[in-house]
Amino acid sequence: MNVAGKIVSILSEEGVDTVFGIPGEQIMPLYEALSKSDINHVLTRHEQASAHAADGYARSSGKIGVCITTASPGALNTTMAVATAYKDNLPVLILTGDNELKYRGSDHFQTTPQFEILEKITQASYNPLNGTEAMYVLRASIYELKNFPKGPIHINLAKDVLLETEFDDFDLCYLCDDDLSNISKAQEVIDKSENPLLILGAGAIGQSKEITELIEKYQIPVTTTFHGKGVVSEENPLNLGLCGIRANPQSKYAFENADCIIGLGIKASERTLPEIPDNFIHVNINRDVLRGDYPIHGKVEDFLSEIKFSKVNWIGEILENDDSYHLEGLDSDGKPQAAIKRILNKFKDNIVASDAGSHTTWTTLLKKSNKPRQLLFSGAMAPMGYGLPAAIGASIATDEKIIVINGDGDFQMNLQELATLKENDLDVIVFILNNSEYGIIRQWQESFYSMEPYQIKLNNPDFVKLSSSYGIDAVRVDNLKDLELLLSKDLVGPLVVEVTVESEDIPLP
């Protein structure tokens, strides 16, 4: 067995059942091994989509997403999607082919410093020089992604390394380098607290049941980041909703009046915390993102097992504040938010993949999640073209109906993945909100630069005919009445629905 065959064997052994990618010359030995395995390979039409699909697979399931590409053109096409997974700390494994080792640093055909480029947007990037090193970094990467998912890991595989037949394998055993030394200090702050508040991020997803039981027992209010939506059901009165730039009056009041704020599995970015409060206890497996006076480097479950809480009594005070945004236009014909409201009401229990643009704001504000992983979108990078390939990954990972909410602009960034959608016959329904413009850019031009709209108008194709050319059922609706009629039916994907909407500004933070 050569290195390529052993890599495929290890992936299978570690529970990887699906990979996304496009074959090419330098990665061909790995594809030869894949062709003889039971691993499901999903052929996308662009490498960016391969990595976005691996992202959606990981984001919806919590398992490792795997993307495989060939050298330079293929590897570099993934960069936007790899950066997306990096910004949102997702467990994605990127395997790229490369020319033979002797060509490193040369001007040989399709040779670029792809290892160094991807190193900047991954948790780690490895460049094994022989088969033994390849085995070591693969096992180490899988261990890290499973136990401490802090972001994607890249392994760059030269063609001659893949073809090696003499190498050593490894049975790795790691010790976590957690630092819980601040637990006692954090406990002192909690003991003195009368108005504590939890902020839940993606790192708390695995502790939904335990956190819900904890807050209900001690009546502790919580808010969430975008990616923490659903860790505690948004129907639970103790869940105040989003924090940070999209905080409603209740969560804003709680943040401003809490005397102890505990961030569980959050990055504490500027979108979550406009400033780091006093008595901020921050728990995260990624040491590099820890902030505040009481950093706890470790897993959320380990922190919760060590800390003791007492019952508090300030949720009533918080709930006296009106919790609504007073969003306008939710029942107005032609408004995108009105269409999104009805789509979300119809598919309230389904996973929704959103893209980038004004529709994302309405979707995040209107989508209520009763469990984690129900809303997939790239919050920290926000690339256009994320929604469709991410939904493909999520559909394959979960075998559930997936809903995509797109704009007309971002849909066209990766529309070629309609072929992947059709080929795999996935139950994915794509809603394209068509206002024939880059709406959020127009709003920025008008609101912040006093500009007339410039280079934002789109002469779009006929999306129904376009989708039909891929063999996918498609329909166009021009008003709320027709949309409601369509939504009253039992819809099955693959299906594309074009919804004509008008230009509309989003509510600014």
State which CATH number among 1.20.1090.10, 3.40.50.10090, 3.40.50.1220, 3.30.499.10 fits the domain covering 183-319: 3.40.50.1220
pLDDT in tens, 230-258: 999 999 999 999 998 888 889 999 999 99
Task: Tell me the pLDDT tens digit for each residue of 74-115.
Answer: 999 999 999 999 999 999 999 999 998 888 788 888 888 888
40 phi and psi angles, rounded to 5 deg: -80, 120
pLDDT of residue 509 exceeding 80: no
Report pLDDT digits (tens) over 117-138: 999 999 999 999 999 999 999 9
SS3 of residue 185 by DSSP:
helix
Could you tell me the fold of the domain covering 3-162? Rossmann fold (3.40.50)
pLDDT digits 0-9 by tens, 338-386:
999 999 999 999 999 999 988 999 999 899 998 899 999 888 888 999 9
Query: Taking the mean position of all CA atoms in its chain, how far away is CA 507?
Result: 23
Per-residue pLDDT at 172 = 59
**C-alpha to C-alpha distance for 195 and 19, rounded to whole angstroms:** 47
Cβ atoms of 126 and 155 closer than 8 Å: yes
CA triple 304-305-306, angle to 5 deg: 90
Structure confidence at residue 323 (pLDDT): 67
Domain 336-500 has CATH 3.40.50.970: yes
Torsion of CA 79, 80, 86, 91, to 10 degrees: -80
Pairing of strands 428-434, 375-376: unpaired
**What are the C-alpha distances in Å from 375 to residues 225, 383, 412, 441?**
12, 16, 21, 24
Strand order in the sheet with 260-264: 239-242, 222-224, 196-200, 260-264, 280-284, 294-297
Q: Render pLDDT for 295-327 as a digit per residue (tens, 0 to 9).
A: 999 999 999 999 999 999 899 998 888 766 677
Q: Grade residue 278 by pLDDT with cuts at 50, 70 and 90.
A: confident
CA angle 501, 506, 509 (to 5 degrees): 165
- Alpha-carbon separation of residue 69 from 24, 74, 75, 314, 440 (angstroms): 7, 5, 6, 53, 33
Extract the runs of DSSP E, i.e. beta strands, from 317-418: 351-354, 375-376, 402-407
Residue 243 CA to residue 188 CA, distance in Å, equals 25
| Higher pLDDT among residues 384 and 509, named by residue | 384
Q: Is the pLDDT of residue 17 over 50?
A: yes
pLDDT of residue 457 exceeding 50: yes
Q: Which residues contact 440 (CB under 8 A, 6 or more apart)?
A: 357, 358, 506
For position 175, what pLDDT does the model report? 44
| Cβ-contact 158, 164 below 8 angstroms | no
Provide the token pair at 71: 């050298």
Q: Report the amino acid identity of residue 297.
A: H
Which residues lie closer than 8 Å to 462 by C-beta, 6 or more apart?
A: none
Do 3-162 and 336-500 have matching folds?
yes
Quick: pLDDT tens for 185-212.
999 999 999 999 999 998 999 899 999 9
Domain ranges of the chain: 3-162, 183-319, 336-500
CA torsion, ordered 227, 367, 333, 248, to nearest 10 deg: -80
Cα distances (Å, whole numbers) of residue 239 to 160, 219, 229, 236, 318? 54, 11, 10, 5, 11
Helix (H, G, I), strand (E, B) or coil at 198: strand
Q: Using one digit for the tens of pLDDT, what is the confidence trace for 481-502? A: 999 999 999 999 999 999 999 9
What's the CA gap between 351 and 423, in Å, rounded?
21
Q: What pLDDT, on a 0 to 100 scale, did the predictor assign at position 92?
A: 97
In the predicted model, is pLDDT for residue 173 greater than 60?
no
**pLDDT confidence band for 176 (50 / 70 / 90):** low
- Whole-model pTM: value is 0.88
State the DSSP string of 77-118: HTHHHHHHHHHTT--EEEEEEE--GGGTTS--TT---HHHHH
Work out the percent of the chain whose per-residue pLDDT is above 70.
97
Evaluate if residue 174 carries a pLDDT over 70. no
Classify strands 294-297 and 40-43 as parallel, antiparallel or unpaired.
unpaired
Dihedral, CA of residue 422, residue 427, residue 431 and residue 432, to nearest 10? -20
Instruction: Show the tokens assigned to 300.
Output: 């959320």
* Helix (H) or strand (E) run with residue 314 in it: none
Distance CA 134, CA 92 (A): 17
